[in-house]
Amino acid sequence: MMKTLFATALLGLALAAPAYADEMAKCDDATMMKIKTDVGMMKDPAMKPHMEMAMKEIDMAAMAMKDHKMDDCSMHLTEAMKQSMMK
């Protein structure tokens, strides 16, 4: 009985971890500023295409936030974060 309960809990955690990792960025001014700061710290010339794409995504997120389209805003912020983490 205890083994079954433990196995079920472990399986539940294993399945929940990937879903949590794919969570979209929160669409607010603080998150947007943090991502802009992260992108601004990209100094490597080889990263310039990623930096430009991230800035475009941030601009699109700002427009979506202005239009009160929070799902679109979150999607663009998530994409900007992905671009800023590219190596």
pLDDT, tens digit (0-9, with 9 covering 90-100), for 15-35? 554 443 456 788 889 999 998
Range of the domain at 62: 25-87
- Residue 19, pLDDT score: 44
39-60 residue pLDDT tens: 888 888 888 999 999 999 999 9
Stretch 3-15: mean pLDDT: 56
Q: How many CB atoms lie within 10 A of CB 31?
A: 17
Would residue 52 count as lying in a domain?
yes
Would residue 69 count as lying in a domain?
yes
Q: Judge whether residue 85 has pLDDT over 60.
A: yes
Would residue 7 count as lying in a domain?
no
On whether the CB atoms of residues 39 and 55 are closer than 8 A, the answer is: yes
Would residue 3 count as lying in a domain?
no
What's the rounded Cα separation, in Å, for the pair 32 and 26? 9
- Residue 13, pLDDT score: 52
What's the rounded Cα separation, in Å, for the pair 51 and 31? 17
Would residue 85 count as lying in a domain?
yes
Q: How many domains does the chain fold into?
A: 1
Would residue 63 count as lying in a domain?
yes
Quote the pTM value. 0.69
Q: Which DSSP category does 44 fall into?
A: -
Q: Which DSSP category does 69 fall into?
A: -
